[in-house]
Chains A and B, each alone.
Chain A
Amino acid sequence: MQLGDGQTTYGLQIQPRMGFFTDTSVCIGCKACEVACKEWNLVPEDGLVWSGNSYDNTGELSANTWRHVAFIEQQLDDGMRWLMSSDVCKHCTHAGCLDVCPTGAITRTEFGTVVIQDDVCNGCGYCVTACPFGVISKREIDGDGGMHKCTLCYDRIEDGLEPACAKACPTKSIQFGPLHELLERAHGRLEDLHEAGVDDACLYGANEDDGVGGMGSVFLLLDEPEVYGLPPDPVDPTRNLGTIWGAAGAAAALLAVGVAFAFVGGGDD
């Protein structure tokens, strides 16, 4: 299956849509991806602390954490299990962040990925409210004031390299490549796991009929999405923009009518 893409305006420069497949069933929680990402992308240090939530010490995706390894300890009937998962920007087919950005700082690259141009962003914060996954936030370090997130290592993939996180991952939990190949691989892996009796295994983001038109980062999960901090039914809010502009137009018209009505019968008592 091929997910739709948004890079149709690139003409001859168009590239296959690239993405991530994060197979959480083989993640060992080593955080090599977090470290490699920080180093390559010069993402500043934002506190060396333990969250107290299992082995998690970065907490969530943010302007300063572009790969986040989640650790979920679960008590099962026959013992405990530990779920680990490296989360990242979904590089949505319909990206809310990109739709609402008023400066054009957020663009779709020739690889179909979603990138913030730091020298254009004016820090309005609209993208933060439009991402269904809580990926983007404001960098408050050294007076930066801009919004930041994963670029899918745009500078590396332009030169034919794989993103730093995928390169560093020792178990191939993070895989990089043309999205259609990754989707094939993801479906194959899912089948294998189901055959092996792992019934709860499922794919997240691999369906173009979801609320964001499918994701450029696909995940294999072993539990429901919420457990990993992922929304169960993410929707790009701009999908409903027709309704929203319609409501705004109607409200404006009613206000004009209201003002006119206020003058009915003259201005004097």
Chain B
Amino acid sequence: MTESRLSYYGKPIIKEPVWKAEIPNYFFIGGLAGGSATLSAAARAAGNEQLARRALYVAAAGVTVSPYYLIKDLGRPRRFYNMLRVFKVTSPMSVGTWIVASEGTSTGIAAACELFGILPRVRGAAQVVSGLLGPAMASYTGALVADSVVPVWHESRRELPLLFASSSAAAAGGLAAALTPVASARPARRLGLLGAVAELVTHKVMERRMGELVAEPYKKGEGGRYAKAAEAATLSGVGLMLLAGRTRTGAAAAGVLLAAGSWSTRFAVHHAGKTSAADPKYTSIPQRERAAERGQPAVTG
């Protein structure tokens, strides 16, 4: 196929996403907050106060800085509140805005009560809400990028939410394991390991299902570099957690590695999306094959 028949002077067919580094940073921080909120609520229910308190503080820190990243990336930050005047199920960003707002409020209340040792009933109720919303907070961002025309995102729409959720579990478990005395940290270590393994497997399945061409942005350029870094950090985090997770320093190093892997995963997705939109072949070739199957619906005559 000659270049000139794939697009107009080799120019992109779709526009590159305008999102900057704030967005993958938010995906990581928001996911960490969501995973930690649920971990904390479960720890509280299990009577593991040490773990519950630390995971709650991580979640609270996450929900506190999340809005900063979200608002900073807007083209018109002072109008961010326009998102709070609308609720639209056809827009994962709209649904997500309400998830973030509710998760932020409930986690913030729970953490404040915890910190000042006041209103235990309010804290308990807020923590239930925060724990229940945590998984939604960790997953909706995968839905957000999947609902786009960027081939490497849209064609992995079945896997992206799970990739983000498992990546969040790895980061939340890892950091909680790093911060909690080893005797109380077993559930955190297990969550980190489980999340990390699921993250690695989901990424592989996702690439396989997309096929070689569409998945190429995870193999080369910025997307490829971050994907490799993510795999290396997550794998070594898993190894270290298994070998030395029952020592304080081992758990700290392993937890940081798992979080770094999770962060790199979001940047890999972000950059792969940019590459996927910028090169018209990722749009033209699969669409042409699909059109051939569907009988060229956009073209008549």
Interface residues of A (CB under 8 A from B): 51, 53, 56, 59-60, 70, 72, 96, 99-105, 120-126, 128-138, 144-147, 187, 190, 194, 201-207, 209-211, 221, 224-235, 237-238, 240-241, 243-245, 247-256, 258-263, 266-269
Check B92–A100 contact: CB distance below 8 A.
Answer: yes
Q: Report the minimum CB–CB distance from B44 to chain A (whole Å).
A: 11
**A104-B86, A245-B143 known; A255 vs B15 contact (CB < 8 Å):** no
Check A250–B162 contact: CB distance below 8 A.
Answer: yes
**A227-B4, A248-B139 known; A269 vs B246 contact (CB < 8 Å):** yes
Further contacts, 10 of them, CB under 8 A, given A70-B8, A128-B15: A99-B90, A103-B85, A104-B82, A121-B79, A125-B73, A201-B301, A234-B287, A247-B142, A248-B92, A248-B142
**A100-B92, A129-B149, A233-B291 known; A211 vs B298 contact (CB < 8 Å):** yes
Cβ of B183: which chain A residues have Cβ within 8 Å of it? 268-269
Cβ of A210: which chain B residues have Cβ within 8 Å of it? 297-298
Check B76–A121 contact: CB distance below 8 A.
Answer: yes
How big is chain B's contact interface, by range? 35 or more
**A138-B18, A229-B13, A248-B161 known; A104 vs B42 contact (CB < 8 Å):** no
In angstroms, Cα B136 to Cα A190, docked, is: 51
Output the residue of B17, B75, B246, B301 with the most chain A CB within 10 A.
B301
In angstroms, Cα B148 to Cα A207, docked, is: 22
The chain B residue sitting closest to A202, CB to CB, is B301
Check B154–A237 contact: CB distance below 8 A.
Answer: yes
Q: Which of B109-117, B190-198, B220-228, B230-238 contacts A (4 or more CB under 8 A)?
A: B190-198
**A122-B79, A235-B149 known; A262 vs B85 contact (CB < 8 Å):** no
B263 located at the interface, meaning its Cβ lies under 8 Å from any Cβ of chain A in the complex: no
Q: 10 closest Cβ contacts across the A-B interface?
A: A123-B75, A145-B75, A229-B8, A252-B135, A122-B79, A251-B161, A129-B148, A102-B94, A233-B291, A103-B82
